Structure formats: C-alpha cells, structure tokens
A and B are shown apart, each in its own frame.
Chain A
Amino acid sequence: EPEVTQTPSHQVTQMGQEVILRCVPISNHLYFYWYRQILGQKVEFLVSFYNNEISEKSEIFDDQFSVERPDGSNFTLKIRSTKLEDSAMYFCASRSTGIQPQHFGDGTRLSIL
C-alpha cells in the first residue's frame, strides 16, 4: 500500500538554525498537510497546500515557517531561526481529494538544543 514518507526520522538542531523537513506524499494525492505534535499533546494543524499554494494555515504557522513543493514529488516544511519550543514531532499528511482519508507519514522528531 502506498505510504507517505518523511525524512529524516530524527533531526537535532541548534537553536537559531534553520531546518528543512521533507515529505514525499502518496503519488496521486493532491492535498498536502503539515501537523505538529508536542510530546504527549494533541496533533496541531499547521498548514494545508493545494494547487501549488497554501490553502489554509493556523496561527502557529507564522513567518518563521514556509512550505514548498519544489518538484512533483517532494513537499517540504522550512523552519527558520528555530526555538526551543519548536521541538516536536512533525507529521506530513496527504489525501487524494478533500473528502478522502488523510494518510500520515511516520513523522520527523525535531529536537532543538
């Protein structure tokens, strides 16, 4: 069964540095999402992306964050000037249409030191 693939599985970065989290959505999917989950807490919506542009974003998704679909397969989340509170699990998800199930990747654990 097709899967959403995320790399790296774990990223350790110094505070203030920039990180790029990578995702390869399922190939025929058109809707892409990033979520964040701080350890032991709920899954928080960050941003959705459709038709090569951001569809919706949450209050969390400020100027520190950006997303890109640089080619036909990758979907990236860039976090600039990382802070300690950015430490979390970041999940990418994709779906074929707006009403089909979302498929989540295994996540990238981001640790900011």
Chain B
Amino acid sequence: GQQVMQIPQYQHVQEGEDFTTYCNSSTTLSNIQWYKQRPGGHPVFLIQLVKSGEVKKQKRLTFQFGEAKKNSSLHITATQTTDVGTYFCAGGNTGGFKTIFGAGTRLFVKA
C-alpha cells in the first residue's frame, strides 16, 4: 500500500538554528499536508500544497512540494522554543478520502 516516509525522526537544534524535515511518498500524491503536534495535543493543520513544484511560506516556515508530487519538505528558519513539537507530513489522495501520515519529525529546541 501507499507509504509516506519522513526523516529525520528527531532533530535537536539550538535556538536560532534552522531546521528541515523531509517527506517522500511511494506513490504520486494529489496533495501534501503538514501538521504540527505538541506533546499531549492533537495534530494542527499548517498548510496544504497541491501543485507540482509549489512553494509556500508562513513567516519562518517554508513548505515545498516536489515536481513529481512525491516529495515535500518543511524548513524552519531561525527556530524558536515555541517551535518544539512533532511535524507530520500527510499525503492525500484525489477526493480527499484518505490521508497517509509520515512518521513525523520531533523537533527539540534548546534555548
């Protein structure tokens, strides 16, 4: 079945350093979604990318969707302690009926 791989599993950074998590799907995706989950919390939607090669920015966060619509990345510039949590990518199929999550990257930020 469809798989979504995500690396790294963990990332420790010093506050102010950059952070990137990468996502790769075994099949072509209709869209890719990114979520953030704080410890003990639920996934919170960050963004959805739909177009091949799409790049979107939200303040210090930059999201990319690959040309082949099989990979994606999230880059955080100058991390802050409020960025801690687990970032999940999730691949969506046509119609929006199924979303497959990656394993997530847990970000630790040291002040």
Instruction: Select the stretch in B51-59, B67-75, B98-106 that faces chain A.
Output: B98-106
The contact of B104 among A42, A50, A55, A95, by CB within 8 Å, is A42
B50's nearest neighbour on chain A, judged by CB, is: A99
Chain B nearest CB, measured from A6 CB (Å): 9
Q: Which of A43-61 contact B (CB under 8 A)?
A: 43-45, 48, 50, 55-56, 58-59
The size bracket of the interface on A is 20 to 34
Count A-B pairs with CB separation below 8 Å.
Answer: 60
With A and B bound together, what is the CA distance between A33 and B98 in angstroms?
9
* Contact B101–A98 (Cβ < 8 Å): no
Which of chain B's residues have a CB closer than 8 A to the CB of A106?
A: 41-42
Tell me the A72-113 residues at the B interface (CB within 8 Å). Answer: 91, 95, 97-99, 101-107
16 CB contacts below 8 A, A to B, read A35-B101, A44-B101, A45-B98, A55-B97, A56-B93, A56-B97, A59-B1, A91-B43, A97-B96, A98-B95, A101-B48, A102-B33, A102-B99, A104-B44, A106-B41, A106-B42
Binding site for B on A (CB under 8 A): 31, 33, 35, 41-45, 48, 50, 55-56, 58-59, 91, 95, 97-99, 101-107
